[in-house]
Amino acid sequence: MDSPLERVTNLTARVTRLGDEPSGTIDDWGRDPGLVRTTMHLARIRWDVAVGGDQHLPRRKGALVVVNTRRFALAPIFAALALSEAVDRPVRFVGRPDTAPVGAFSRRLGGLLDHPDEVAGALGAGELVVMGADPDARVGAGHHQLVGRVDHALVGAALRAGVPVHPGATASSPFARAARVEIGRASRSPRKRRGPLTELELADQVRIDIGLLLDEFGEVRTGTALDRLPLSGFGGA
Amino acid sequence: MAGRRVFVSGVGGELGTLVASLLEAEDWVGALSGIDADPPRRRLHRTVFHRIHPDEHDRIVDTVVDFNPHVLVHVGVWEPDARAAPHAAALLTDAAATSIIGAAAECRALEHLVVRSGIEVYGRAHGALTRPDESAPVQPTSAWGRTVAAIERTAAQVGERVGVTVGALRLAPVLGPHVPSPLGRLLRMPAVPFSVLADPPFAVIEDRDAARAFVAAARVGLAEPVNVVAPGAITALQAARRGGRLPIPLVGPDWRIARTLSHLLGAPIPDHVSETLHRGRLADNRLMRTLLGVLPDTSTTEVIDRLYHWPSVIRQPARVQVA
């Protein structure tokens, strides 16, 4: 049995700071810190991301962050890069393909396969992981209608790993640099369940919580026909 | 606990010799015996060595049954293109596993069985997990993966039948100064091929860390599979750069030529090594500490750095020519 001091030391040792990661190496999951740093610099040309709510994320343990996505917006990737910089530790994202060369490149950036066991393994190892909700959202009133389905199997992976699930709202525009990532407090399932309903209900709750975060973002209203175009950066397709 | 009889198969190999020498220092080990087709690589003080070929089924059974071990550690496997060609390696490994594990089933004192396996059992099919843990399905996609998966299966069946616990150590590719490894041999070539489109990460384990894991598994009575993998990962390109080798970027049909050339130059690339270079090979090692109480001392990057510092074979001519 470890002494309290050893336990604290082990806990501290688990967290890798971005600045501590040596170049020319890759980590246990194939993430290349040198490439990530270069990509972060390049990403600043495309996006100017304001990150908020990162204080809600655990400092050392793993957590799953679910963000709203839009087609071709690369929301999980820019959110992971921006969060990584904000919390000063590696943040991975879900959804890399398993085909070279795109899959290999995504893995170097911290990409994980869209598989519950893969996500559970990373979360169990104390990693922060960002996943996107389904980009296919229904059209309707309220921002939660703009958030697509959240894969309950991946949420179940977080439950298995015993880590919190945080809602994250992202906003970016196809034409502007300004982007925003806001992380909310960990979502909680409305009811205590003993079976797989927990992950289903938690996934629905995360979707609602992302919608509430998007509501707090407010909306750009110019009073012109531009308001009808999908330029606000919110929600689904 | 003290005075246990421990039998080590494959004690003539580098890993087997290391396991035996570490077991000799354990106070819970009483008598120690070993078997292999070749003699041990270094002097063993307490181990009684039996030189028997894997084909000599009856002698193996008699030797194991006479010793009647409490713990049997099966390290006697032949990795393809390490010391034998792939076909011969598969036959030798199968013969040794069948004889030794079969003989163990006849021993009344037997309480525990530890077998050597590999992380190749997880396979690298499309969509396979990047870093599988022990709960991931066993779906080997290489000949070596299928061989070690068969050993695990045989051991598990025997364990169930005779009521003993069976632990399987799924080792990452083992590298060491004297370990015959096709991956290590390839990485030490003056020019190292790598997949320009993928260059995936892989992990390895140093022979000493692997041997410590075997001893821990025998001591604690490991009763399930556990991945034995050094922390960290590296790619073939990074390894070549660290070793000051010339990296050769390859894509598609170039690999066929590279494999042939490499074979002619003395570093054949078996399918599991080829798979490592194309699809990567990582595994989760978190259970090592929980189940075995040990962690590797050497990271993957350090093992690769050491690989390039281990001296090559030094050929010394005979002082007096007699023939």
Chain B residues whose beta carbon lies within 8 Å of the beta carbon of residue A103: 198
Query: Alpha-carbon distance A219 to A234, whole Å?
Result: 9
**ipTM score here?**
0.84
In a domain, A9, yes or no: no
In a domain, A233, yes or no: no
Residue A136's pLDDT is 63
Query: Alpha-carbon distance B276 to B229, whole Å?
Result: 14
As for how many domains chain A has, the answer is: 1
Chain B residues whose beta carbon lies within 8 Å of the beta carbon of residue A99: 126
Cross-chain CB nearest to B136 (options A30, A117, A125): A117
Name residues 105-124 of chain A within 8 A of B (Cβ): 107, 112-113, 115, 117-118, 121-122, 124
Compute the average pLDDT of residues A203-231.
74
Res. A11: pLDDT tops 50? no
Question: Closest by alpha carbon to B227, among B283, B155, B144, B303?
Answer: B283
Residue A158 is part of which domain span? Answer: 16-228
Cross-chain CB nearest to A30 (options B130, B135, B242): B130
Is B68 part of the contact surface with chain A (CB cutoff 8 Å)? no
Res. A232: pLDDT tops 80? no
In a domain, A11, yes or no: no
Name the residue of chain A whose CA is nearest to B137's CA: A117
- Confidence class of residue B323 from pLDDT cuts 50, 70 and 90? low
Residue B226's pLDDT is 98
User: Which pLDDT tens digit goes with each residue over B238-266?
Assistant: 999 999 999 999 998 889 999 999 999 98
Residue B197's pLDDT is 93
Paired strand residues for B112: B71, B165
Cross-chain CB nearest to B126 (options A28, A98, A122): A98
- Confidence class of residue B315 from pLDDT cuts 50, 70 and 90? confident
Is B282 part of the contact surface with chain A (CB cutoff 8 Å)? yes
Dihedral in degrees, nearest 10, Cα atoms B258, B260, B262, B266:
180
In a domain, A164, yes or no: yes
Res. A8: pLDDT tops 80? no
**Domains of chain B, CATH where assigned:** 4-175+204-230+283-296 (3.40.50.720)
Contact B234 A25 (CB under 8 A): yes
Question: Closest by alpha carbon to B73, among B53, B47, B55, B92?
Answer: B47
Res. A237: pLDDT tops 50? no
Contact A121 B301 (CB under 8 A): no
* Structure tokens that stand for B83 in this block: 């010391």
Helix B57-67, helix B86-105: angle, nearest 10: 40
Q: Which CATH number characterizes residue A123's domain?
A: 3.40.1130
User: Which pLDDT tens digit goes with each residue over B81-119?
Assistant: 999 999 999 999 999 999 999 999 999 999 999 999 999
Residue with the bigger pLDDT between B74 and A148: it is: B74
Distance between B299 CA and the closest CA of chain A, angstroms: 10
Give percent of chain B above pLDDT 90.
90
Res. A137: pLDDT tops 80? no
The rounded mean pLDDT for chain B is 94
| One-letter identity of residue A178 | A
In a domain, A81, yes or no: yes
Contact B198 A26 (CB under 8 A): no
Please measure the distance between the N-terminal and C-terminal CA atoms of chain B and give it in whole angstroms. Answer: 55
- Confidence class of residue A20 from pLDDT cuts 50, 70 and 90? confident
User: Which pLDDT tens digit goes with each residue over B150-193?
Assistant: 999 999 999 999 999 999 999 999 999 989 999 999 999 999 99
In a domain, A235, yes or no: no
pTM comes to 0.88
Residue B66's pLDDT is 95
Res. A32: pLDDT tops 60? yes
In a domain, A3, yes or no: no
Compute the average pLDDT of residues B210-227.
97
- Confidence class of residue A226 from pLDDT cuts 50, 70 and 90? low
Residue with the bigger pLDDT between A125 and A22: it is: A125
- Confidence class of residue A147 from pLDDT cuts 50, 70 and 90? confident
Q: Yes or no: say if A158 and A119 are a contact pair by the CB < 8 Å rule.
A: yes
Query: Alpha-carbon distance A201 to A140, whole Å?
Result: 21
User: Which pLDDT tens digit goes with each residue over A191-214?
Assistant: 888 778 899 999 999 999 999 998
Question: Closest by alpha carbon to A188, among A215, A158, A223, A225?
Answer: A158
Cross-chain CB nearest to A100 (options B198, B203, B284): B198
In a domain, A236, yes or no: no
User: Which pLDDT tens digit goes with each residue over A58-113?
Assistant: 988 999 999 998 877 789 999 999 999 999 999 999 999 998 899 999 999 999 99
Residue A6's pLDDT is 52
Cross-chain CB nearest to A28 (options B135, B231, B238): B231
